[in-house]
Amino acid sequence: MLRNVAAVIWDGVAPFEFGAVCEAFAIDRRDDGVPYLDFAVCAPTAGMVRTNLGFGVEALHGLERLEDADLIAIPAFGGPSGTLPVDVRDALLRAHARGARFLTACSGAFALGEAGLLDGIECTTHWKYATELQRRFPESKVVPEVLYVDTGQIVTSAGTASVLDAALHIWRQEYGAAVASAVARRMVVPPQRDGGQAQFISHPVPEPDAETLGPLLSWITAHLHEELDVDSLARQVLMSPRTFARRFRAETGATPYAWITAQRVRRAEELLERSDRSVEWIAGEVGFGNAAALRHHFTRVRGLSPQAYRRRFACGEPATA
């Protein structure tokens, strides 16, 4: 269980990514029902650390504090040209050997690459740096189009705000959807974004009169129990199925089927946590039809069965309709 988090920084740290890590894990949200985490900021030498924008932040701890951390967060630190201090590298290797988990933001992935910790695993970074990450560390498996990659011990996130997506993912894994939603609500961000970096890579600007699927997406989330197919959804927004499917992927980063399935799994999470309804009932309520289909999709996405998820995260509160 996640109890202890340390952010490790050194000269050249990017303040936004560092701040995002602090926002996700350092704030005491016990009044919102969020477990308290022991959070610390560490540096090669305790004291002032200069950011890449010229001002300084103070680290109260040296690298010895990493020895207690369940999770070590590494913010961006100057892009691919940044240099990983030798003593930080050695501390990261010791932490990895004892089983500590890692979260990187943006170019922070290069630090793990320099430590040899990305060899043989999938990872990501900002789309602008993805090619360089793969070139520098050819034994890694860079996935450039996603917001974050979780391989178990190592979670790498893409540019800037995606570290919040990865942090909420970790909250969700450790304490369930209700806690992750509470953290997200305080930060005023979505509990889980869909899509990936492909939405942000430079591409032609849509025509000024382009349709938006925002209202339809809201309608879908309120009607997950219904039969939802491309043809009927396309009719709602007066598009051909082919145009609708293309527009849907452009706006969400996912196919209609994948997006709707993700919403159904998310709603099932809430019902498993907050109600004692049967898995069969929940399957019908979220649109999977039967318990077998729910178990299949839920286990594929979350890595554990609906029953196991309920045993771990049930909070006994009534679910809202």
pLDDT tens digit sequence for 73-98:
999 986 677 789 999 999 999 999 99
**pLDDT level of residue 223 (50, 70, 90 thresholds):** very high
DSSP secondary structure string for all residues of 232-251: HHHHHTT--HHHHHHHHHHH
pLDDT of 145-201, one tens digit each? 788 999 999 999 997 788 999 999 999 989 988 898 899 888 877 666 655 554 343
Residue 253 has pLDDT above 90, yes or no: no
Q: How far is CA 150 from CA 8, 49, 182, 235, 262, in A?
A: 20, 29, 22, 37, 17
Whether the pLDDT of residue 319 is over 50: the answer is no
pLDDT of residue 96: 97
Region of poorest pLDDT, from 42-51, 203-212, 229-238, 267-276: 203-212
Whether the pLDDT of residue 309 is over 90: the answer is: no
Residue 209 scores a pLDDT above 80: no
- Report the distance separating Cα 4 and Cα 42, nearest Å: 13
Give the β-pairing of 141-142 and 148-150. unpaired
Average pLDDT over residues 60-66: 97
pTM above 0.85, yes or no: no
- Res 210 pLDDT > 60: no
Listing DSSP states for 124-148 in one string gives ---TTTHHHHHHH-TTSEE-TTSSE
Tell me the average pLDDT of the chain.
88
Cβ–Cβ under 8 Å, residues 177 and 191: yes
The pLDDT of residue 302 is 78
Q: Dihedral, CA atoms, 81, 86, 92, 96, nearest 10 degrees?
A: 110
**CA of 274: how far to CAs of 176, 221, 224, 269, in Å?**
11, 18, 18, 9
Mean pLDDT of 116-123: 95
- For the ranges 17-31, 113-127, 173-187, 275-289, the lowest mean pLDDT is seen at 173-187
Report whether 5 contacts 70 (CB < 8 A).
yes
DSSP, collapsed to helix, strand or coil, labels residue 213 as: coil
**Which residue segments constitute the domains of the chain, with CATH numbers given?**
4-187 (3.40.50.880), 211-321 (1.10.10.60)
The pLDDT, as a whole number, for residue 123 is 94
pLDDT digits (tens, 9 = 90+) for 107-117: 999 999 999 99
- With b meaning 16 or more CB within 10 Å and e meaning fewer, what string describes 185-215? eebebebbbbbbbebbeeeeeeeeeebebee
Amino acid sitting at position 189: V
